[in-house]
Homo-oligomer: A and B are copies of this chain.
Amino acid sequence: MNRLYHFPLSPFSRKVRLTLAEKKIEVELVEERYWEQSQEFLRRNPAGKVPILRMDGRFLPDSLAICEYLEETVPDPALLPGKAEARHEVRRLVAWFDGKFNDEVTSKLLGERVFRKLMSTGYPDSTRVKEGAKAIKFHLDYMAWLLEQRRWLAGDVMTLADFAAASHLSCLDYISDVDWDRSEAVRDWYAKIKSRPAFRSLLADQVSGFPPSRQYADLDF
């Protein structure tokens, strides 16, 4: 049986979970408190990070490397388009969300408000929380600008770029940190992706000590 070592509020893990579900690859989820850096965990991935996919007799780390692997081995349905320029645009946006958005928003809001407590590394740094709350506006506006020209973030079909974005936003929505009133285009996009069967497992997530926000699992938010 395939296995995914993950953490519920890890956006990188979520991108892989969405990809697996969309491609209908069954997987057993194993929750990993990655910050404890257990010996066994480091043997599976010396980088000490989740997610790690156990598949085809191997331990495969790194969310983007995993998604590329799944795209190559289970091509249907495709999460990358066919043309090189369009594939570049998807990968650019995956890097945008997993790099820039993660640094400027997710690590500041989720990192301070949830992970500090989970990892027992002190109180939230309110400066960082404020920076994150400010930066998310720029990012939502950028998404809105893209979505005014395109049906999905990278073009006319749903791709890994949408999964990367939805992974971060869903983690932030869990703690009520997304202002869905800021852009109708973004809200409509999120409603579409949230209602996919692949999203269900994410909406059932619970992290003890942190109950999800009221609208988190609501398809009509």
A113 to chain B, nearest CB (A): 21
A100 touches B60 (CB 8 A): no
Q: A138 to B84, alpha carbons, bound, how many Å?
A: 37
* CA A69 to CA B56, docked complex, whole Å: 27
B47 and A65 form a contact (CB under 8 A) = no
This chain: how many copies in the complex? Answer: 2
Closest chain B CB from A64 CB (angstroms): 7
User: Chain A at the B interface: mostly helix, strand, loop or mixed?
Assistant: helix
Q: Is A68 interfacial (CB 8 A cutoff)? A: yes
CB contact under 8 A between A87 and B69, given known A100-B47, A142-B46:
yes
Residues of chain B with a CB closer than 8 A to A100's CB: 47, 49
Residue of B nearest to A89 (CB): B65
Count chain A residues whose beta carbon lies closer than 8 angstroms to a beta carbon of B: 27
Q: Which residues of B contact A91 (CB under 8 A)?
A: 62, 64-65, 68-69
Write the chain B residue with the least CB distance to A70. Answer: B84
Tell me whether A61 and B92 are in contact (CB under 8 A): yes
Q: Write the residues of chain A forming the contact surface with B, with a CB cutoff of 8 angstroms.
A: 46-47, 49, 56, 58, 60-62, 64-66, 68-69, 72-73, 84-85, 87-88, 91-92, 94-96, 99-100, 142
Q: Is the CB of B88 within 8 A of A60?
A: yes
Q: Bound state CA distance, A52 and B70, in angstroms? A: 28
Query: What's the minimum C-beta distance from A149 to chain B, rounded to whole angstroms?
Result: 14
Residues of B within 8 Å of A60, CB to CB, are 88, 92
User: Given the complex, which residues of B lie within 8 Å of A142, measured CB to CB?
Assistant: 46
- For A68, list chain B residues within 8 Å (CB): 87-88, 91
